[in-house]
Amino acid sequence: MGRFIARRLLQAIPVFFGATFIVFTMVYAIPGDPIRALNGERPISASAQQALRDRYNLDDTLLVQYGKYVGGIFRGDFGETFRGRPVAEILKEKFPVTARLALGAFIFEVILGLIAGILAGLRRGSFLDNLVLVSTTVVVAIPVFVLGFVAQLVFGLQLRLLPIAGIQHGWVSYVLPSMVLGSLALVYIARLTRTSLVENLRSDYIRTAEAKGLSRPRVVGRHALRNSLIPVVTYMGVDFGTLMGGAIITEGIFNIPGIGREVFLAIQSQEGAVVVGVVTAGILIFILMNMIVDVLYAVLDPRIRLA
């Protein structure tokens, strides 16, 4: 086990440097003089230009620039806004709101996804099974932002059931955005649970458990379901990336003052530093989450860690 974790950590190192290098080159090392671009029409003095060049390390070679950039990330420095506010501060301030939204989405997708997946998997080919399959296909096809607007139109404006913007109504404000944000993962959790349950119900140890005379709920709950959830758990790591991308769109649509809306607004006001800073932080968290999930996978499934 220890060896597996060590190997996985070692593998994450090149991924970390590779991914940050790609982001760095795409964002900071594009050809052209950024200072001249910053000037616009009015020329600024040579000394002011030099001060800017020093501040952004523009006279260094590409590798040194990258080194300073990664060093900054390690110290929690994700750049600053045009007004000089550190992006890390924004991240810290807005994080609780986004965390609440993500938690809501997570609860929604896991509970509903598992129920739908288990019901469909237990009665394969039934009406319910087909209903789950068809409805999930349709949900996958509708992009998150369309789903958000439709939810606003139907639940908020037509039925007037739920608040559609802001967070001033307490936890109720999070219901609709959480559902929209979690909808895509809900589909995959339901599908994965169904497929993996169907597969496991056919296996030998289930027949053995039934032959021993165990009750149906016990066979399904303790034997089949436990193994069926392994791929579902791993999916949740991958899902994290979707969740962050989705949060940018969902928070923008529902006006939730979290990290995602900050990115949404920064894109619209063309404040590149905020966009890049926040998204880079997101990518780092994504790499970390995937690593944790991989380790978790190995804990749950001996076939992986012994392979």
Partner 1 sequence: MPDRVPTPGNQPADEEELRPEDAMERAASGGIQAESALATAAALEGGPSEYQASLWKDAWRQLRKKPLFLIASSLLIVFILMALFPGLFTDQDPRACDLANSAGKPQEGHWFGFDIQGCDYFTRVVYGTRVSLIIGLLVIGVDVVIAIILGSIAGYYGGFWDGFIARIADIWFALPTVLGGIVFLNALGERGLLQVSFVLIFLQWPTLTRLMRSSVLSGKEMDYVQAARALGASDWRIMRSHILPNGIAPVIVYGTIAVGIIISAEAALSFLGVGLQLPAISWGLMISAAQNRILIHPHLLLFPALFLSILVLSFIILGDALRDALDPRLR
User: Which residues, at least 6 apart from 131, have a Cβ–Cβ distance to it below 8 Å?
Assistant: none
Contact range with partner 1 by CB under 8 A, out of 25-33, 45-53, 103-111, 210-218: 25-33
Answer yes or no whether residue 86 interacts with partner 1 by CB under 8 A. Answer: no
DSSP 39-86: HTTS---HHHHHHHHHHTTTTS-HHHHHHHHHHHHHTT---B-TTS-B
Size of the site for partner 1 (CB under 8 A): 68
The correct pick among 201, 219, 263, 298 for binding partner 1 (CB under 8 A) is 263
Find the shortest distance in angstroms from Cβ 206 to partner 1.
15
The correct pick among 157, 159, 211, 306 for binding partner 1 (CB under 8 A) is 157
Per-residue buried b or exposed e for 54-70, using 16+ beta carbons within 10 Å of the residue's own CB: eebbeeeeeeebbeebe
Answer yes or no whether residue 161 interacts with partner 1 by CB under 8 A. Answer: no
Answer yes or no whether residue 144 interacts with partner 1 by CB under 8 A. Answer: yes
Question: How many Å apart are CA 161 and CA 142, to the nearest integer?
Answer: 22
Answer yes or no whether residue 176 interacts with partner 1 by CB under 8 A. Answer: no
At 257 the three-state DSSP class reads coil
Find the shortest distance in angstroms from Cβ 272 to partner 1.
6
Q: Are 153 and 145 in contact (CB under 8 A)?
A: no
Find the shortest distance in angstroms from Cβ 289 to partner 1.
11
Answer yes or no whether residue 134 interacts with partner 1 by CB under 8 A. Answer: yes
Q: Which of residues 196-215 bind partner 1 (CB under 8 A)?
A: 196, 198-199
Question: How many Å apart are CA 110 and CA 193, to the nearest integer?
Answer: 10
Question: How many Å apart are CA 55 and CA 63, to the nearest integer?
Answer: 17
- Which residue, chain included where needed, has tokens 């260094």? 60
User: Which residues, at least 6 apart from 169, have a Cβ–Cβ distance to it below 8 Å?
Assistant: 163
- Residues binding partner 1 (CB under 8 A): 11, 14-16, 18-19, 22-23, 26-27, 30, 124-125, 129-130, 133-134, 137-138, 140-146, 149-150, 152-153, 157, 184, 188, 191-192, 194-196, 198-199, 231, 234-235, 238-239, 241-242, 244-246, 248-249, 252-253, 263-264, 267-268, 272, 275-276, 279-280, 282-283, 286-287, 290
